[in-house]
Amino acid sequence: MQELSLNILDIAENSVRAGAALVRIVVRAFPTEDMLSVSIEDDGSGMDEETAKGAADPFYTTRTTRKVGLGLPYFKMNAELTGGAFAIESSAGHGTKVTATFGLGHIDRAPLGDMGQTMSLLAGANPEMDFVYELCAGAEPADSADGSGGFVFDTREVKQVLDGVPISEPEVMAYMASHIDENTKELISAYKI
């Protein structure tokens, strides 16, 4: 995968299969530390300790349709290639959090990619779930009220405004993708994400 957004999409699909109701995707740039952090957290079924330990191994999978799982191992490899790190926090019944850190300016770091399309696809394909996407710099949460601290997109807010119109409608999905792209272009450029 040549863009992180495609890897994020793949990992978020694990959350869908885990029965999550809410998936939170947080992308944080730390320019002074030359680091980019990407985390995908869900409230799904989680994993027991043994499964969590094996999840980053490409030859370990709980799927019955194939004998290899490449989403998490690829994410881990990409992070480590840039001098970053990878971690999985999970417990059965309590959800999972996957975090990868990347060297922000490292030549081998893949670009963030099209998060607008990624988020609209996730929301449109899984209308019963909620997704939050946060893009910011530093450790402080993004402030969606004035945009100065970053950008937050929350499908719960979108659904409220839609007042019964399905979030999976093509026009709604196109609007979500466009809205996310418009609000993240400046941040992506400023932080070289």
| Eight-class DSSP state of 149 | T
- The chain-wide mean pLDDT, for the chain, equals 89
**Is the pLDDT assigned to residue 36 strictly greater than 80?**
yes
DSSP annotation string for 20-59: -SEEEEEEEEEGGGTEEEEEEEE-S----HHHHHHTTSTT
pLDDT computed for residue 42 by the predictor: 97
Helical ranges in the chain per DSSP H: 4-17, 49-54, 71-81, 115-125, 155-162, 170-191
CATH tag for 4-191 (out of 3.30.565.10, 2.40.110.10, 3.30.70.260, 3.40.50.300): 3.30.565.10
Please give the model's pTM, rounded to 2 decimal places: 0.89
pLDDT computed for residue 192 by the predictor: 81
